[in-house]
Amino acid sequence: MRISSAASALPRNYYPQAVLVEAFRKYWGLKLDRFGVLERLHSATQVDGRYLALPLEAYPLSSWGEANNAWIEASMDLGQKAICRAMQQAGISAGDIGAFFFVSVTGISSPSIDARLINKMGLNRNMKRIPIFGLGCVAGAAGIARAADYVRAFPREAALLLSVELCSLTIQQDDLSVANLISSGLFADGAAAVVVAGDELEGADGPQIVATKSVFYPDTEYVMGWDISEKGFRIVLSRDVPDVVLRNLGRDVDGFLAEHGLNRSDIESWVLHTGGPKVLEATEAALELPRGALDISWECLRRTGNLSSASVLFVLEKVMDTRRPAKDTWGMLAAMGPGFCSELVLLRW
């Protein structure tokens, strides 16, 4: 089974970070006593600019319902673009897709976005649909792993993964917590689609998925997630996230690799979720990575911010398009997210 393609789609509304900071000055107004704190927090994210689902003047939205309706509309548009690009790159038809995995943590709908896109795009009516909500940042890697599980059982088929995250539609105007101030400078909007092909599907190209591993960390629900109320999604983002990474990631990666007779020195390419500067620094330290090993993750963070589940798929797309590793070398794709948990994918290029 192989990753045949990875393709992204971004909204047309792009704003440099300085423009967004000034917008938040007006957004919070007198509610924010010390505006310099917000400026410092946004600067610390090391994000140059971000794409938003809506034009800047459309924010703030009047209610959670309005925000969720905007999420549905933008998800349909970006999702279709990402899927079309991924299918074209993979050289497959709609009839080849046996399963459709949809992941998001920034909006909800029933029927889910995958069902709406089957109607809009005329996709295979016999596809198994697997919408997944709640995994957050880890869902891009987890979606690839679950797609691999599917095509292992059905090797003549392909599985489609779509991630759409529209973080700008979740920001709470009455939440002046440090967590919300940081997230307002870090998270952004985008979509990505991946095609995972079974071993018996002709024409499949891309890295082989050799194995996957899920690791759950008990009693860490407080680290990351949402508190959900009548106003929508309120960010939960603990300062402990980098510490959780430091304590667990190196050990878990080493254990996973050992199961396959490998160690960290065998891995020549790393496809890791962008997180934020502190998370990336903690990842580099936990894995004792050489300088430059996560350059693409840092580049994606600067260019688009943190796109939650879509981030690791943006990094994967960049690696496949511009810095594809040498044939037969080992790679690792990984992300961490609410639970708290990690998802590891061993690749052979």
H or E segment to which residue 159 belongs: strand 158-166
CA distance 202 to 313: 23
Instruction: Check whether the bond before 16 is cis (ω within 30° of 0).
Output: no
The span from the CA of 202 to the CA of 157, in Å, is: 10
Q: Can 341 be counted among the known catalytic residues?
A: no
The string of DSSP codes covering 104-137 is ESS---SS-HHHHHHHHHT--TT-EEEEEES-GG
User: Under a CB-based contact definition with an 8 Å cutoff, are residues 252 and 342 in contact?
Assistant: yes
Choosing from 84, 137, 300, 341, the catalytic residue is: 137
Alpha carbons 22 and 3: distance in angstroms, whole number: 41
d(C-alpha 22, C-alpha 44), whole Å: 16
* CA torsion, ordered 133, 136, 140, 142, to nearest 10 deg: -70
**Which residue type does 79 have?**
G
Exposed/middle/buried for 50, CB within 10 Å: 0-12, 13-18, 19+?
buried
Alpha helices by DSSP H, listed for 130-259, are 139-153, 178-186, 241-258
- What gap in Å lies between CA 337 and CA 342, rounded to an integer? 6
Which H/E stretch holds residue 345? strand 341-348
The answer to whether 205 and 89 are in contact (CB under 8 A) is: no
And the tokens for 253?
Answer: 């990666």
Residues with a known catalytic role: 137
